[in-house]
Structure 1
Amino acid sequence: MAHFRDHLREQRWDDHRYYHHNLVNQSLHFVSAITFLVAYVIVWRDPWLAALLGWGISMTSRQAGHFFFEPHDYDQVNDCSHEYKEEIKVGYNLARKVVLMGLWAFSPVLLLANPSLFGLVTPHAGLMSFLENLGMMWLALGVGGLVFRTVQLFFIRDVETGLVWATKILTDPFNDFRLYCRAPGQLARRAAAWRPGKAS
């Protein structure tokens, strides 16, 4: 158990030091963490709504931080290239995230084209039932993505690495909230200090 905790701490530290340099990215992860925590509370009552929040706000905000704000050039702090970080990434690196987010973006189109989803759901009769079906699709995608990569890690790494990674992903909202709760305030102060025309 102690080794499991050490391994979890290592994965969290690598994730933070390699992929969360940018203050905007950290702030978006804080927004993502809050939304995921809300989703965790309501998933037991309204799983479709929790999934809409999880994918529609949490995942889009955190992935926007990675794709658009986090630097992809040589990492001077850790003395390694972006390509190296992508290669050793335990979970979903940017290339794998493109596939996952592509499936997410395509799912509403699929549901509109095939409202019964090949007989898996009751066809929607209006906007609310469409959102309920879409939310359940996104929930299945999230669970499937988690299970798929966990089992994949069992084979390409080892069982403990997969279980540690799954634990990390499920507890990331709590960890990100703690790590990045000060980032929005720091970002706001930096933006205020940078205002054009402000005397230096």
Structure 2
Amino acid sequence: MNTFIQTLEAQRWDDHRYYHHSRINQSLHLLSAMGFLVAYALLFKDPALAALVAWLVSMVSRQAGHFFFEPKGYDHINQATHEHKEAIKVGYNLQRKVVLMAIWAGSPLLLVWQPELFGLLDAHSNWQALARNVGWMWLWVGVGGLLFRVVQLWAQQDLMTGLVWATKILTDPFHDIKLYHRAPIHLLRGELMDPGPHKS
């Protein structure tokens, strides 16, 4: 158990120090984390709505922070190139995220071709029903993306690395709120970049 916790802390620290220099990105992660907490609460009552919140609010804001606001040049704080960080990224690096987000964005087109999704859903009869079916699809895309990367990490490294990463992903909303709750205040003060992340 100690090894699991240590590996989890190492993955969290590497993710924070390598990929969260921008205060805008940190603030978007705060928004994302709050959205995920809403989605977690909804998951037990309305899974389809939970998935819509998770993808449309949390994942869009989270990935926008990474794609558009996080620096891609040489990381002087950590003495690492962007290419090096992408190569050692445990979870979804930018290339993998492009694939995941393309699958997410394109998946509703399946409902045009297969409104019942091969018998898994009731065919939609109005926009509300369509939105719910999209929500169910996005829930499966999310679960599938999580399980796929766990299996990949298991094959590439070991099972514990994959399970630690899955644990990190599922608990990131709580951790991000702890780390980035002051990011909007820093932004209002005109601080666009974290001057140097420190391990808390």
Structure 1 and Structure 2 fold alike (TM over 0.5): yes
Residues 22-61 of structure 1: matches in 2 within 5 Å?
A: 22-61=22-61
Q: Post-superposition shift, 1:96?
A: 0.3
Measure, in 2, the Cα distance between the counterparts of 1:167 and 1:109.
Answer: 31
Aligned to 1:167: 167
Aligned to 1:94: 94
Measure, in 1, the Cα distance between the counterparts of 2:136 and 2:33.
Answer: 21
Q: Post-superposition shift, 1:162?
A: 0.7
Aligned to 1:194: none
Consecutive aligned runs of 4 or more in structure 1 exceeding 3 Å deviation:
none
Q: Post-superposition shift, 1:119?
A: 2.2
Measure, in 1, the Cα distance between the counterparts of 2:69 and 2:112.
Answer: 32
Q: Post-superposition shift, 1:186?
A: 1.4
Q: Give a deviation string over 1:53-88, Cα, whole Å, max 9, x none.
A: 000010000000000000001111100100000000
Q: Give a deviation string over 1:156-191, Cα, whole Å, max 9, x none.
A: 011110110000000000000110000012112218
Residues 1-200 of structure 1: matches in 2 within 5 Å?
A: 1-190=1-190
Measure, in 2, the Cα distance between the counterparts of 1:28 and 1:114.
Answer: 35
Secondary structure in structure 2 of the residue aligned to 1:190: coil
Measure, in 2, the Cα distance between the counterparts of 1:172 and 1:187.
Answer: 22
Amino acid at match of 1:100: L
Measure, in 2, the Cα distance between the counterparts of 1:86 and 1:111.
Answer: 34
Secondary structure in structure 2 of the residue aligned to 1:33: helix
Q: Give a deviation string over 1:136-166, Cα, whole Å, max 9, x none.
A: 0000000000011001111101111011000
Q: Give a deviation string over 1:8-54, Cα, whole Å, max 9, x none.
A: 00000000000000000000000000000011011010000000000
Q: Post-superposition shift, 1:110?
A: 2.0
Aligned to 1:198: none
Aligned length: 191
Q: TM-score, normalised by structure 2?
A: 0.93
Percent identity of paired positions between Structure 1 and Structure 2: 61
Amino acid at match of 1:182: R
Question: What is the RMSD of the two structures over their aligned residues, measured on CA atoms?
Answer: 0.9
Amino acid at match of 2:172: D
